[in-house]
Amino acid sequence: MTDDVIDDGALVARAAAGSEAAFRTLYRAYVRPVYWVAFGLLGVTADAEDVAQETFVVAWRKIPSLRLEGASLLPWLVTVCRLQAQNKLRARRRHGSHAALDDEIPSAVDVEAQVVQAQTVAAILAAVDRLSELDREIFRLCAAEGYDYEAAAASLGVSHGTVRNRLSRIRSRVRATAMETETP
């Protein structure tokens, strides 16, 4: 999912043979996209985290019998994630959660669109990972945690202008990465 080419077929085969290192590589490559798919389906951070983890527990159990058809493990993980999300919604309804009253995953979900969205998120996260440490912190504080420029500058010990200018460049890079990924 990053610029480094990950041969999912080889990693799946190694994981199926019991390689925890291969499975960890797959996990690191796909946990964030799977989380964002789960969050898009459930809308609750804690539930999305649970579903992402449950998806990989299922993957670990089923990987010995998995025959990967295609270049990426992600479409299969998205399908498992959807099933786990449906289970989570059923559990909400069983336990009478008010959040579950109108919750339902549509029966016709565009899996391809979800995969593209997950790949876009993964590309954006990879682009953020390639930023300098200061830029990653600025992105985290401003884009992810909602800090304003002044609060981020104070937290990082830099000027307001530094945060504003760097964040503008970061957003341009991230936007370009997202557009590249979504272009067919």
pLDDT digits 0-9 by tens, 1-28: 444 445 788 888 899 999 999 999 999 8
Residues 157-177: what's their mean pLDDT? 87
For the whole prediction, is pTM greater than 0.85?
no
CB of 5 closer than 8 Å to CB of 48:
no
Within a domain: 123: no
The CATH number given to whatever domain includes residue 80 is 1.10.1740.10
Q: Which value, in Å, is the radius of gyration of the alpha carbons in the chain? A: 19
Verify that 8 and 98 share a domain, yes or no: yes
pLDDT of residue 82: 87
The average pLDDT across 141-152 equals 80
The mean pLDDT of 115-122, rounded to a whole number, is: 69
Least confident of 60-64, 71-75, 149-153, 163-167: 71-75
Q: How far apart are CA 155 and CA 140, in angstroms?
A: 12
In a domain, 3, yes or no: yes
Least confident stretch, 1-10, 61-70, 138-147 = 1-10
C-alpha of 2 from chain center? 12
* Mean pLDDT (whole number) for 65-89: 83
Selected residue with higher pLDDT from 162 and 100: 162
Helix or strand (DSSP H, E) at 50:
helix 45-62
Tell me whether residue 33 is exposed, middle or buried, using C-beta atoms within 10 angstroms of its C-beta: 0 to 12, 13 to 18, 19 or more: buried
Residue 170 belongs to a domain with what CATH number?
1.10.10.10
Range of the domain at 51: 1-109
Count of the separate structural domains present in the chain:
2
